[in-house]
Amino acid sequence: MNSPTDNSPSLPIIDSSKPVEVKTFDDPGHSLTHRNDQHKLFAALRDVGFVYLQNHAIPPSAQQLLFQHARQILASLSRRRQRLRPENQKPSTSGSHPSGRLAKDHFLRVLYYPETTGSSSWNRFRASLHTDYGTLTLLFDDSHGGLQVRNKAGDYVDAPPLPGTAIVNVGDPLTRWFNDTLKSTEHRVVDPSAFDKSSADIPDIIPARCSIAWFGHPNRDALIDPIKSCCTSDNPKKYEPVYARKHVVERLAKLHKDGKNIKTWTDSMGRDGKQDLVTEVKVGA
């Protein structure tokens, strides 16, 4: 696992302005470059499932404004909870997740992970191992990091914030539509300093982490069935049809069963059986 304090790119970097450029017929070289960039993007989503996206259409000023409003809302909610919560009640690690409903079944969500103590963070996950249930996720992180992506070998690779980029990852429905050709990769969120084995000092307080995610979901009544051209003799059909809403409900039910991630999935989105058995924990527990 690479060091969480190392900000070197750990995921493929894709220039989003290139795969979507309009092809000019008077420049054959441009057409070839265009196809190469498309292939690079497809290969990254196939082999890794996560990419850093450069030159996306969301300007830094809009991102800063979103984070500013998110922190104001979270601070207000935190003060309100402090007034309402009994003295012996402990806050949850889930924090506050205000979300905005967009067109269709897409969501823009603020993911908030409260601060915790360094002495109790070494064995905790801010978000335990999971895949995303939508088609695609677009993620903007603050500077604290903590996202880890599980590679094909089962090791965790840190995906630190990279200035000027967003993180895009494949979700379960896209994996099903492409019959496992595209990869819905497992990932988790940790306290970076606590998981940095090269660091002798873990701070007394691990700061709060905030990220903003856009979850692109199929319409809930959409039927998710592998595309015929993705089912071949070498890669036979692996998934039965399922409606998008049912898929999400089933995945959430399994994730939260008994407050744990189950060791292996029992549905047709089964993985390799190497899932961690992680108990949900509470801050201050």
pLDDT tens-place string over residues 191-202: 765 555 555 566
> Which token pair is 265?
């999935």
pLDDT of residue 112: 83
pLDDT tens-place string over residues 218-227: 988 999 999 9
pLDDT of residue 44: 92
**d(C-alpha 16, C-alpha 170), whole Å:** 16
pLDDT tens-place string over residues 46-90: 999 999 999 888 888 888 898 888 888 877 877 777 677 555 554
Model confidence at 19, in pLDDT bands (50, 70, 90)?
A: low
> Which token pair is 234?
């070498």
Identity of the residue numbered 53: L
